[in-house]
Chain A
Amino acid sequence: MTTGVEFLPCIVAFCCVHSAYQAADAAGRMRIPYPENIIVVHIPCAGRVDTLHILRAFENGADGVVILACHEGACHHILGNIMAKERVERANALLREIGVDGRRVEMQTCAPNDGSRFARVCHELEEKIKELGPSPLRKHA
């Protein structure tokens, strides 16, 4: 398939206030660039994200969704990141059931002062979603 227009994936990143949001700030202060097409949704804890929110993002046309949380064992609310991981897995299964590549949704962790990791995760995610191509749900959005 040839396209004249480069595919710019639309990625929704649920960023927990205690880790990823601060890591994004840190990346900013260190002036580390990362892809612009990542929509940051600010959440109080990764555990706040419901499978419903992940699926709605895809329904609305997102090509990829990531939950960025605190490292395992370091969640300010103890089990928020563990619950988020389970929901990502559930979303993955549901997507596969309807014929969408489950790899479009993933879970990542980072520390609040780790700006370079935040940027790295964004770049890798963009590459991955670019390879997977536009989400088949896009035209229904």
Chain B
Amino acid sequence: MDEVKIGVFICNCGDTISKSVDLLDIRARLEKLADVALVSIGHDLCSPQAQQAIRKDIIDNGINRVVIAACSPQLYGDALANLVEKAGLNRHLLSVANIREQCSWVHPDKDKATKKAMVQIRMAVDKVRLQDVVEQAEVEVYKDVLVIGGGIVGMEVAIELSNLNLRTTLIEKEANLGGRLKQFAALYPLQVTPEEMLTSRLKQVTGSENIDVLTSAGLKDLSGEVGNFTAKIRKGNKEISRNFGAIILATGYETLFLDKVYGFELGNNIITQSQLEGMLKSPGEIKKIPQSVGFVFDICDEHSRISTLSTLRNALVIKERFGSEVYVLCRNLQVDGAGLEKLYQDVRNKGVIFFKFERFPKILRENGKINIQVEDLSMAREQVMLSCNLLVVEEKVVPHQDFATLESMLNIGLGPRDFYQEDNVHLYPTSSTKSGIFFAGNCHQDLDLGRALTDASNAASEAYQLISSGKMRVEVERVVVDPDKCALCLTCLRFCPHDAIRIDYEKKAAHILDLACQGCGICAAVCPAKAIKFKDWSDDQILAELEVV
């Protein structure tokens, strides 16, 4: 290895830093270090002229490690790395000491500030001395996207991707596309029907050359990393293997009736929202028009938009079609969406009566009718007795049946109530913990249709921006495993939050996937044998920095 020659470039930020930090003293001390070949103080390293000068200094003095002591790397970090590269060095051979925001601006005592700045610069020097080169490369990636789930959201994702000229494979476990929207009796506003929405989407999907639909199909296996996933799809008794650059889950939700919570079973005149929608879609099935219909929710799940939405929509349909008396009993109406307050007002204007309860209403079947006893909160908790021919109860919204299988296949983590996506703001709105895998629609959030379509569009364009050029930039072997030390204990693999580690059976060692790695260093910290080297933050570097104590 070449003799290490470190160049330290200190910025005075005009002449402001030297007012609180004795830069000359620091320079004198630094020049005493054996491998520091050059220490220079500049007026403003951010100016193009100064940067030219630094470049010249690096080349003229044979400098092969650079330390810049200036303002926060958050501001110019990238520009400085570019500068180093232009001077012929690998961009990682640079360390920045923040002597402005983290020193001269916060420490009024000049002696103490100088001492601290010296510590900061020493640490940067000690760190960069041990820095390894990390090459950049461009890797070819697949420009195809796998969309799992063919409901309205999955279709919308596929359509957007197709409009953006990416090829999509859309897989759906049922025999037909459309998902839950097929069951909806109506949308709001009522002029647009679910059938029309689905038909128009279906037309775009089947009419697009870019979309390949596989129904009665499911994902059987997934391997690889972002840009280069290999998926094995099962369709009937065939297995289809395809490569993708990104994956979007749009697996939606399912509903469950919790008879234990309600304390009764469904029967002739107590049905779920889903059953009601089914009834409303096949009017021939309705033998007798109910004179009065009751809706109740917020008993098994207080926080669902879907309960409010389906109730309001279906209440409106019943009023429009049958003119029945309609009562709605709930705790809170979730109207926090575009057009939802309006929907509520329309429903009220049509004569639907709302009761808000604190305590659960008592529901009894009596003589072919449903009797409900509820506290009327607007009338000093007076007990009100309602009677209706038909009671529609809420269902609990749950993740789709195979969520656990799919999650363990993809290794993407679950969030509240087992829906996808860990509840971490940095993943919002559609990312998963794993690069290249995104979520759209109700499989990860409780969404009304408007929001779900926005979500679909965002997920599609996230995938698009990742792979549309067919290439991805990567840091090559930024984290490496020493096969001599690796005991294949699998600890790193289990702890990697981004599923970026695999086993290389030939080398008999763990192996970090460059594209998938997000640079946290957790693997390097957990490895019991210290077999993993994270080149920008290696153990040697951190321990060397600690020598300054």
Contact = CB atoms under 8 A, between A and B. Distances in A.
State yes or no: do A and B come from one complex.
yes
B543 interface: yes
A49 B525 contact: yes
Contact residue range for chain A? 35 or more
A49 B547 CA distance: 16
Interface string A47-65: 1111011001100111000
Interface stretch (A28-36, A90-98, A101-109, A124-132): A28-36
Given A53-B543, A57-B549, A74-B424, A80 B520 contact: yes
B522 A45 contact: yes
A25 B113 CA distance: 16
Contacts of A47: 520-522, 525
A41 B520 contact: no
Nearest to A138: B549
A32 B547 CA distance: 28
B549 A12 contact: yes
Interface stretch (B30-38, B353-361, B531-539): B531-539
A78 B72 contact: no
Contacts of A87: 525
Given A25-B74, A45-B521, A36 B549 contact: no
Contacts of A44: 519-521, 534, 536-537
B116 interface: yes
Interface in B337-372: none
Interface residues of B, number: 47
Nearest to B543: A56
A75 interface: yes
A41 to B, nearest CB: 6
Given A24-B101, A29-B101, A48-B520, A39 B548 contact: yes
Interface stretch (B103-111, B241-249, B259-267, B289-297): B103-111
A43 B536 CA distance: 10
B105 A60 contact: no
Interface in A1-34: 10, 12, 22, 24-25, 27-29, 31-34
B70 to A, nearest CB: 13
A40 interface: yes
Interface in B492-543: 495, 497-498, 518-522, 524-526, 534, 536-537, 539, 542-543
A66 B466 CA distance: 37
Contacts of A10: 549
Nearest to A78: B497
Contacts of A31: 105-106
A36 B546 contact: no
A100 interface: no
Nearest to A75: B424
B311 interface: no
B448 interface: no
B102 A24 contact: yes
A79 interface: yes
Interface in B420-461: 422-426, 433
B115 A60 contact: no
Nearest to B127: A42
A28 B495 CA distance: 35
Contact of A48 (B106, B534, B543): B534
A44 B397 CA distance: 38
Given A43-B537, A48-B534, A53-B543, A28 B105 contact: yes
B424 A48 contact: no
Contacts of A37: 112, 116
Contacts of B534: 44, 48
B123 interface: yes
Nearest to B525: A50
A83 interface: yes
Contact of B498 (A28, A29, A77): A77
Nearest to A62: B549
Given A28-B101, A62-B549, A80 B113 contact: no
B116 A36 contact: yes
Given A76-B426, A79-B497, A22 B112 contact: no
A88 to B, nearest CB: 13
Nearest to B75: A25
A109 to B, nearest CB: 14
B107 A40 contact: no
Contacts of B102: 24-25, 28, 40
Contacts of B520: 44-45, 47-48, 76-77, 80
A50 to B, nearest CB: 5
B134 interface: no
A79 to B, nearest CB: 6
B545 interface: yes
Contacts of B518: 76-77
B509 to A, nearest CB: 20
B64 interface: no
A75 B426 CA distance: 8
Contact of B107 (A36, A41, A50, A61): A36
B112 A48 contact: no
A41 B123 contact: yes
A12 B109 contact: no
A56 B525 CA distance: 14
Given A33-B107, A60-B547, A78-B422, A41 B497 contact: no
The 6 closest A-B pairs by CB, nearest first: A28-B101, A48-B521, A77-B520, A45-B520, A47-B522, A60-B549
Interface of A: 10, 12, 22, 24-25, 27-29, 31-34, 36-37, 39-41, 43-45, 47-50, 52-53, 56-57, 60-62, 73-80, 83, 87, 119, 141
Given A44-B534, A50-B525, A78-B497, 17 more contacts: A24-B101, A28-B100, A36-B107, A36-B113, A36-B116, A39-B119, A41-B545, A48-B542, A57-B549, A74-B426, A76-B426, A76-B518, A78-B422, A80-B497, A83-B495, A83-B526, A141-B549
18 contacts: A24-B102, A28-B72, A36-B113, A40-B102, A41-B123, A44-B537, A45-B521, A45-B522, A47-B522, A53-B542, A53-B546, A57-B546, A57-B549, A73-B423, A74-B425, A76-B518, A78-B497, A80-B520
